Structure 1
């Protein structure tokens, strides 16, 4: 049997972005100590390992937050609730003092800013930074955490969304 390979067209950035917009993702804000402290919204948070517990997130090296994250020993990851779209928007806005625009926070261990009222937060020790294209994958080990009841904030097709309650119990 003869197989004729069709030419494969490289995937351009516009198509890649359009494809990945169809993937619903949880929304988190990552913060780190600095002068001033930094914080930014991500939808790239991933559980990496259970033993040891590890999470990862990605950040563009062109980001204004990158110099602080490049040197940070600790970060906090805040999983936002469905009622926190304003927090996600604030920490996704460029060119503003995000902590002045969102004053509901306090310093936690290692002077890492902790936001008030996320569904969950994890204070993490950065263990590895892996360059990947124009971003860096930051891998971190949770040291302490807290959570509350609440539905997660999601990002899908360029919009924030929340889960609808199930119509039937399983």
Structure 2
């Protein structure tokens, strides 16, 4: 017996429908920072995923048209900065195009290896970029965690239904 399964159109669902579905899925908010030799760059992301325990791998997505993409593409490492519930303004700063995201009032410093890290975050992961995978209009960056730091228990910043929230 053969079962016929209706197929989806080659293009899948419409972009607006895709966004509508994911508006109901809460996500943690991070800022990814890099420096590929042209000064610090960074962007706000909600796509961070723990990918593997052995070895410790994480992944995140970045739009191929994003202003930070050329920096990430050339970088060998990055820092994933976890934001606390009180850091909505920092998330908005790193989500805004056409500005110097590292200018005051943003507080940041460099780790011993030169990677930019944001001050006052709830924690961070320093990663070596191992692989970049094309995925539609985005790129999936896979990084091996080399170092971490945590400020301890603090309420995280979440993104849900088009806005920032806390637990």
Q: Is the shorter-chain TM-score for this pair beyond 0.5, marking a shared fold?
A: yes
Q: Give the secondary structure class of the aligned counterpart of 2:113.
A: helix
Quote the Cα distance in structure 1 between the aligned partners of 2:159 and 2:50. Answer: 17
> Deviations for 1:116-152, whole angstroms, at most 9, x for unmatched residues?
1111101110011000001000000111111012011
Identify which of 153, 156, 161 aligns with 1:157. Answer: 161
Between Structure 1 and Structure 2, which shows a larger proportion of helix residues?
1
Q: What is the Cα deviation at residue 103 of structure 1? A: 3.1
The TM-score with structure 2 as length reference comes to 0.91
Q: What is the Cα deviation at residue 7 of structure 1? A: 6.7
> Counterpart of 1:24?
26
Quote the Cα distance in structure 1 between the aligned partners of 2:33 and 2:6. Answer: 46
The TM-score with structure 1 as length reference comes to 0.90
> Counterpart of 1:107?
110
Quote the Cα distance in structure 2 between the aligned partners of 1:62 and 1:101. Answer: 26
Tell me whether 1:58 sits opposite 2:86 in the alignment. Answer: no
> Counterpart of 2:99?
96
Counterparts of 1:10-159 in structure 2, within 5 Å, are: 10-33=12-35, 34-148=37-151, 149-159=153-163
Q: In structure 2, do the counterparts of structure 1 residues 76 and 2 end up closer, same or farther at CA, with 3 Å as the change threshold?
A: closer
Q: What is the Cα deviation at residue 2 of structure 1? A: 9.1
Quote the Cα distance in structure 1 between the aligned partners of 2:7 and 2:133. Answer: 32
> Deviations for 1:5-49, whole angstroms, at most 9, x for unmatched residues?
667464100000100111000000000014221010000000000
Q: What is the Cα deviation at residue 3 of structure 1? A: 6.5
CA RMSD of aligned residues (A): 1.7
Structure 1 residues 105-114 or 151-160, which shifts more?
105-114
Quote the Cα distance in structure 1 between the aligned partners of 2:7 and 2:81. Answer: 44
Q: How many residues align?
A: 163
